[in-house]
Amino acid sequence: MAVAASPVPEEDRVRLLAGTHHDPHGVLGAHPVTGGMAFRALRPYAKAVAVVAEDLRAELRDDGDGFFSVVLPLEAAPEGYRLHVTYEDAELEIHDAYRFLPSLGDFDLHLIGEGRHERLWDALGARPMVHQGATGTRFTVWAPNARGVRVVGGFNFWDGTGFPMRSLGGTGVWELFAPSVGEGELYKFEITRADGSKTLRADPLARRTETPPANSSVVHESHHEWHDEAWLARRAERPAHEAPFSVYEVHLASWRPGLTYRQLAEQLPAYVADLGFTHVELMPVAEHPFGGSWGYQVTGFYAPTARLGTPDDFKYLVDALHRAGIGVLMDWVPAHFPRDDWALAEFDGRPLYEHEDPARAAHPDWGTLEFDYGRKEVRNFLVANATYWCEEFHIDGLRVDAVASMLYLDYSREHGQWTPNAHGGRENLDAVAFLQEMNATVYRRCPGVVTIAEESTAWDGVTRATHHEGPGGFGGLGFGLKWNMGWMHDSLDYVSKEPVHRKHHHHEMTFSMVYAYSENYVLPISHDEVVHGKRSLVSKMPGDWWQQRATHRAYLGFMWAHPGKQLLFMGQEFAQGAEWAEGHGPDWWLLDPAYGAEADHRGVRDLVRDLNTVYRREGALWERDTDPGGFAWVEGDAAEDNVFAFLRYPDEGGGGTPLLAVSHFSPVVRHAYRLGVPDEFAAWQEVLNTDEARYGGGDVTNPDPLKPEPVASHGRPASLRLTLPPLATVWLRPA
C-alpha cells in the first residue's frame, strides 16, 4: 500500500536530534503530502515501526537515527491510528504522540500569558487525562528562553530523543501529550539552553516528587475523598482575629520521628485536641532537598514532601485534623528558593524565576535566590501556589515566611548594594504588589482562610485591607494576622532577667500595649526562639528548677491573657529543657511516669490544657483582640512589685463578663494586694492560677470568692485584696 518514503527534512532532523525543535508535531505524526499522507516517527532504538488501524497495517522505512517514514495513498490519517514498534526484545502498540492536537486550550494560554491563571496547576505540570480518546499524561512547562524541551523519565529510559515538546506560541509554554504514561511515573524536563547546552530539571509544578535526596518529579492524580465538609462549612463564621485562635506549631518530620502522614493522623489530632489548641501550624510541608533547612528552602512548591508519604497521605492528615475540630495552618515560603541546578535556578538557561539583576536575585542571608515579583508569570506561579494549598489540601491558613526580606530593597544590604525604587525609596514595590494580589486572591477564592505575616518591622498596614491606603501612600498588604515579633523579643528579654533586675525592664512587658491595636497580632513563641543557642523556653528562665518552671507557667498565663492570638512550639507545652533539634524532636521521655521529674513536666502540660480551656470559654480573652475597648490596665506601673494587672472585656451585648489577669514575676508571696476593679460585680472568683499544686506550683491560691471593697484604687471606685502567688499568673472573673 505504501507508495514512497517521506523522510524528515534534514534541517528538522538535525534539530530534533539536538533537542532544539520548537514544533515537532509539525514534522512528526501524519501530514498531507503530494500523493497521500506522510507518517513520520522518531523512535530511537526501534528495529521496525508500522502504522496500524482497523483495516490498515503499513511498515515505515527506517531512515536512520531512529527516524521512520512512509507515504500512504490516503486522504486522511485513520482516526486513532497507532504505531506498532518492534525493539530488540519487545513489541509495543502505542498511540502516536504526534497525532494529537494541543491538550492545553487557548483560554488557558491567554490566562498564563496575562499572569492571571488562578488555577495554574490545572494547566502546567503533569496531568493524567484522556485526550482525543487516548489515556496518557499531558506534560506542560513554562520555559520561554529554551531552544527546545523534551520529556524524560522511566517510561523512555531517561532518553528524551523521542519525546520532544512543542512550543505553544509566545507564552513560553511547551506541551506534549504522552499516551500510555500514567500515575507513578518518574519524569523531568530536558531543556536545551540558548547556548545549546542541556539541563535536566524537575517540574516546577510537580504535585508529587521522589523522596529526597532523589529529586525526580512523579506523575500524580489525587484519589482522596474528603470528609471535612462540616469543618469547611463553619470555618468562615468568624474572621480569625475575632475568633479563639490558639496555635500549636509542629515540625511534622520530628514531632514523633519516623511517623508517616497517615501515622501522624492517628496521633497528632488526638494530642492537639486534648490540649485544646484551635489550630496546628505546620512548618513548611512543600518539598525541599535539605532536611536541615526545616523546609524553608523549597524546590517543590506544589508538592508535599515525600519524606512522610504521598500527597493523598498528607490530605488524609489534614482531613483527620479537621474532623477533630482543629484548623491547619501551613508555613509558606515565597521569599526565596535554593540554587540547586535541577530546580528553579536559571531554569531555562537564563534567570527566570529569580530577578535578572544578580544583586536583586541573590538573597544576602541564606545563599538563596529571591523571586522576581515584577514578572507576571512568576507572580502567577506564587499566587496560584497560595490558593493551591488552600483549595487542593483544604489548608486553613498560610503563615508567610520572611515578609520583611521581601518588602525592603535594602534588607541585609549595605549602602551601595541596592538600588532605590522608582520613587527613590527602599520599598520593593513589586513585592508589595505581589503580596496584595496574593492576599486578595486567597481571601476571594477561599472563604474562612487566614493569611499570617511573619513581618518583623514597623511596616504600616500589614493587616490593613489592600484597598485602604495608609499615610505612607500604600494600600494595606491585606494579611489577616501578623506575628508580633516585638512582643516576643521584649517579653522574653524581661522574663530571662533575674527577678531583682526586672524592675529595670518593666516597660518591656507593657510597651506592647502602645501598639497592640496597630495590627491584628499573633504572639509567637516559635521554633526560632528555641534553637541555635537560644535555649528552650523554660531554660531561658533564671533561678533553680522550681523558679524556672514557675516563671515558665506565669509567662504562659500572661501570654494567653494578653491581646492577640497565641502560638507555642512543640515541646514547650511540657517545659522541655533542651533546645529543639530536627533530628530527634521533643523529649517525650520527660512525660514517662517512670521518670522521676515526670510530674513537673506533666503539670506544665496540664496548665496549657487549662489555659486553652478557659481561653476558649471566656470570650473576653479573644472577642476584642483588635479593639482597644477590650483592654484596660489596672496596674501597669508596679515595677518594684513585678506585677502586671489588666482587664479584658468581651463583646458588648454578648452576655459575657470581663476577666482580670494578674501576673506576678517576683519569687515572694504578696498578701492583700489591692487592685481596682469595676464595682458592678458582687464578687470575683479565681478561674486559673498557675501556682496550683497540680501544675507543680506551691498552691498559693485564692480559693474563696473575693468581694470588692468600697475602697478606690487604680482609678476605680472598688477594689479587691488578693493573694499573689510567687512567679505566677492568676485569672479571675465575676462569680
- Which listed residue (96, 312, 401, 623) is catalytic? 401
Q: Which residues contact 352 (CB under 8 A, 6 or more apart)?
A: 143, 144, 145, 344, 346, 378
As beta bridge partners, residue 451 has 398
CA-based torsion, 498, 501, 506, 512: positive or negative: negative
CA 568 distance to own-chain centroid: 17
Q: Which residues contact 560 (CB under 8 A, 6 or more apart)?
A: 246, 566, 611, 612, 615, 621
Confirm whether 401 is a catalytic residue.
yes
Q: Which residues contact 608 (CB under 8 A, 6 or more apart)?
A: 275, 276, 556, 568, 573, 574
| Cα–Cα dist 646/39, whole Å | 83
CA 442 distance to own-chain centroid: 13
| Cα–Cα dist 220/183, whole Å | 5
Which DSSP state fits 82?
E
Which DSSP state fits 215?
-
Q: Are strands 67-72 and 36-42 parallel, antiparallel or unpaired?
A: antiparallel
Confirm whether 190 is a catalytic residue.
no
| Cα–Cα dist 593/586, whole Å | 16
Q: How many helices (H) and strands (E) does the chain have?
A: 18, 33
- Which listed residue (312, 372, 437, 454) is catalytic? 454
Given a contact cutoff of 8 angstroms between Cβ atoms, the answer to whether 189 and 149 are in contact is: yes
CA 509 distance to own-chain centroid: 31
Query: What angle separates helix 429-445 from helix 376-392, to the nearest 10 degrees?
Result: 30
| Cα–Cα dist 250/99, whole Å | 50
Using alpha carbons only, give the angle 356, 360, 364 rounded to the nearest 5 degrees: 135
Q: 3-class SS at 315?
A: helix
DSSP one-letter string for 109-160:
HHHHHHT--TTHHHHSEEEEEEETTEEEEEEEEE-TT-SEEEEEEGGGTT-G
Residue type, 25: H
Instruction: Say which residue the cell 495513498 belongs to.
Output: 73
Q: What residues act catalytically?
A: 401, 454
